[in-house]
């Protein structure tokens, strides 16, 4: 059969040339359906006038759909409410102790019973929330301010400043936080003036190096971004560029670490108080209640379990919140979802 008679009627090309791969010289027509006949155009439409979401808006949209975030946030809200308004959860005076009720079990209005001194365990656990939570929150604030400032300066300016600050951070980072806090709390200035603020300052002294390291790494990554170079080209000074562009875009890992470490600082306070080196005994906290209950561990283990349960739930809530925030701020995790 002649070649010109064996043709593709739709494309108008000889089949022999199509099979031989010689179609580059020919124009192959393409047929596209009209827009009004495409059923997915409403689904695939892109709002060209819509404002793009920022990283934080994208993270919040992702967080609202995560059960882990919702559960941890609700637990933290309850803990904060207990710390700020303890009278809303109990009307019993935690300082009213009666020896005739020593080690008695639960009763009406006293769901957790009494400790060895005859104090209401539930009331002490409720009122002890404030001191423990204060230590965690204010230590986290100081650690972020100190470590974030040092890490941002070291990462952004580099050179000799980076060398000095990095070595200073290594010195403190080599000291375990609890061990260093035990040594500092033995100093006369701290031993004779025990309070919530002395514990906060002690933990902040040994807690900032980790935040400084993370901030330094995030700033090193953000300072070479195109928008930072553009701001410098437009005449913005290095200091303003650091404050307006670099730090806001380097805060994501710092927030995650700070959220998780808040629970760590609560545990550290409880450890120091358990050892008799943290808060004074007259200050109600979970650590002091655990310390006073250790002598009754064999006879009445519930006295130790209740404050330990409050402590565990609070710390677990902050750890879960940190995990949820980390997943929401991680671009790879958002892309996978």
Per-residue pLDDT reduced to its tens digit, 184-223: 998 888 888 888 999 999 999 999 999 999 999 999 888 8
Query: Do 304 and 237 fall within a single domain?
Result: yes
Assess if residue 51 is contained within a domain: no
- Virtual torsion, Cα 106, 112, 115, 119, nearest 10 deg: -90
Q: Please report whether residue 54 resides in a domain.
A: no
CA distance 48 to 287: 56
The residues near 126 (Cβ < 8 Å, ≥ 6 apart) are: 82, 86, 89, 90, 94
The set of residues, in sequence order, having a beta carbon less than 8 Å from that of 199 and lying 6+ positions away, is 135, 139, 181, 185, 269, 272, 278, 279
49 domain-assigned: no
Q: Are residues 30 and 148 in the same domain?
A: no
- Same domain flag for 273 and 325: yes
- pLDDT at residue 331 in the model: 58
Q: For residues 193 and 278, give the distance between their C-alpha atoms in angstroms, rounded to a whole number.
A: 11
> Within a domain: residue 53?
no
What is the average per-residue pLDDT within 264-290?
Answer: 90
Q: Are residues 13 and 101 both part of a single domain?
A: no
**50 occurs within a structural domain:** no
Task: Please check whether residues 202 and 235 belong to one and the same domain.
Answer: yes
Q: Do 164 and 268 have their domain in common?
A: yes
The total number of structural domains that make up the chain:
2
Rounded Cα gap, residues 210 and 169, in angstroms? 8
Percent of all residues in the chain with a pLDDT value above 70, rounded to a whole number: 81
Q: Is the pLDDT confidence value at 130 over 90?
A: yes
182 versus 224: the higher-pLDDT residue is 182
Q: Are residues 20 and 119 in the same domain?
A: no
Q: What is the dihedral of CA 252, 216, 229, 157, to 10 degrees?
A: 150
7 and 84 co-located in one domain: no
- Residue 158's CATH number: 1.10.3720.10
Residue 189 resides in a domain: yes
6-15, 167-176, 325-334: least confident range: 6-15
The residues that bridge with 110 in the sheet, in sequence order, are 107
The answer to the question of residue 123 being in a domain is yes
The most confident of the ranges 96-105, 134-143, 226-235, 277-286 is 134-143
Instruction: List, for residues 28-54, the tens digit of each pLDDT value.
Output: 555 565 656 555 555 555 555 556 667
Together in a domain, 217 and 301: yes
Q: Are residues 129 and 39 in the same domain?
A: no
CA 305 to each of CA 65, 137, 262, 276, 296: distance values in angstroms, whole numbers, following the listed order: 34, 24, 22, 19, 11
Looking at the fold, whether 13 and 77 belong to one and the same domain comes out as no
Note whether 185 and 197 are within 8 A (CB): no
pTM of the predicted model, to two decimals?
A: 0.79
What is the band of 25 on the pLDDT scale with cuts at 50, 70, 90? very low
> Residue 331 and residue 73: Cα distance in Å, rounded?
22
Q: Do 16 and 107 lie in a common domain?
A: no
Contact in structure between 238 and 253 (CB atoms under 8 Å)? no
Q: Which domain holds residue 17?
A: 3-44
**Which residue from 144, 116, 142 is spatially nearest to 258, judged by alpha carbons?**
144
CA-based end-to-end distance of the chain: 58
């Amino acid at each position: 059969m002649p070649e010109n008679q064996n043709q593709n009627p739709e494309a108008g090309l000889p089949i022999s040339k199509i099979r031989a791969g010689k179609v580059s010289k020919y124009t192959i027509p393409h047929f596209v359906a009209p827009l009004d006949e495409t059923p997915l155009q409403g689904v695939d439409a892109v709002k060209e006038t819509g404002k793009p979401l920022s990283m934080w808006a994208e993270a919040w949209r992702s967080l609202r759909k995560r059960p882990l975030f919702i559960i941890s946030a609700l637990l933290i809200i309850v803990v904060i409410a207990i710390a700020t308004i303890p009278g809303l959860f109990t009307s019993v005076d935690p300082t009213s102790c009666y020896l005739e009720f020593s080690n008695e079990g639960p009763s009406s209005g006293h769901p957790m019973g009494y400790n060895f001194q005859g104090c209401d365990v539930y009331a002490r656990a409720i009122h002890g929330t404030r001191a423990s939570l204060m230590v965690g929150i204010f230590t986290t604030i100081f650690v972020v301010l100190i470590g974030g400032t040092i890490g941002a300066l070291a990462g952004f300016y580099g050179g000799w400043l980076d060398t000095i600050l990095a070595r200073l951070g290594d010195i403190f980072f080599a000291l375990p936080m609890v061990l260093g806090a035990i040594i500092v709390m033995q100093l006369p200035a701290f031993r004779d003036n025990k309070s919530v603020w002395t514990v906060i300052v002690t933990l902040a002294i040994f807690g900032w190096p980790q935040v400084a390291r993370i901030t330094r790494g995030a700033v090193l990554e953000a300072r070479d971004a195109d928008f930072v170079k553009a701001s410098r080209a437009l005449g913005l000074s290095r200091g303003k560029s650091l404050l307006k562009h670099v730090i806001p875009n380097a805060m994501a890992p710092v927030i995650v670490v700070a959220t998780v470490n808040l629970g760590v600082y609560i545990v550290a306070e409880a450890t120091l108080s358990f050892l008799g080196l943290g808060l004074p005994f007259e200050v109600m906290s979970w650590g002091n209640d655990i310390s006073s209950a250790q002598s009754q561990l064999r006879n009445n283990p519930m006295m130790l379990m209740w404050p330990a349960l409050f402590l565990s739930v609070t710390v677990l809530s902050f750890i879960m919140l940190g995990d949820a925030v980390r997943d929401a701020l991680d671009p790879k995790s958002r892309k996978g979802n």
